[in-house]
Amino acid sequence: MKATLTNYAQSPKKVQLVINAIRGKKVSHALKVLPFIDKKSSAQIAKLIASAASNAGEKDPKTSNKIISHISVGSGRVIKKFMPRARGSAGRILRRSSNITVKLT
């Protein structure tokens, strides 16, 4: 089954660090490991994996044997802001967001 999280307010580079740690693992093992990863996105990814497992549980009751076959992160919307700088110029600030997709087999 599949679950997605769209426009998560953290940059894809930071989310990718957590995703690389759990790619290819069983769902039960990933849910045990994620609380010990000291990153902000680990709690949201744990919720997303639990959601995908519950989606799979509706069709197949054996969700404990499910493996995270595909998990990816892409860029979401980017909010562009400007901050005043020296001599009347402006510096651009990019607030990046992420789209995360999980597929279980």
Torsion of CA 90, 7, 70, 47, to 10 degrees: 130
Residue 92, pLDDT > 90, answer: yes
Query: What digits encode the pLDDT tens for the residues 30-82?
Result: 999 999 999 999 999 999 999 999 988 776 666 568 999 999 999 999 999 99
Does the domain spanning 2-104 belong to CATH 3.40.640.10?
Answer: no
DSSP of 34-50: GGGS-STHHHHHHHHHH
Reported confidence tier of residue 9, pLDDT bands at 50, 70, 90: very high
Beta strand 2-8 with 90-104: parallel, antiparallel or unpaired? Answer: antiparallel
Angle between helices 41-59 and 12-22 (to 10 degrees): 50
- The full set of domain ranges for the chain reads 2-104
Which pLDDT score, from 0 to 100, does residue 2 have?
Answer: 93
Q: What angle do CA 64, 31, 46 make, to 5 degrees?
A: 120
Which pLDDT score, from 0 to 100, does residue 56 have?
Answer: 85
Which pLDDT score, from 0 to 100, does residue 60 have?
Answer: 65
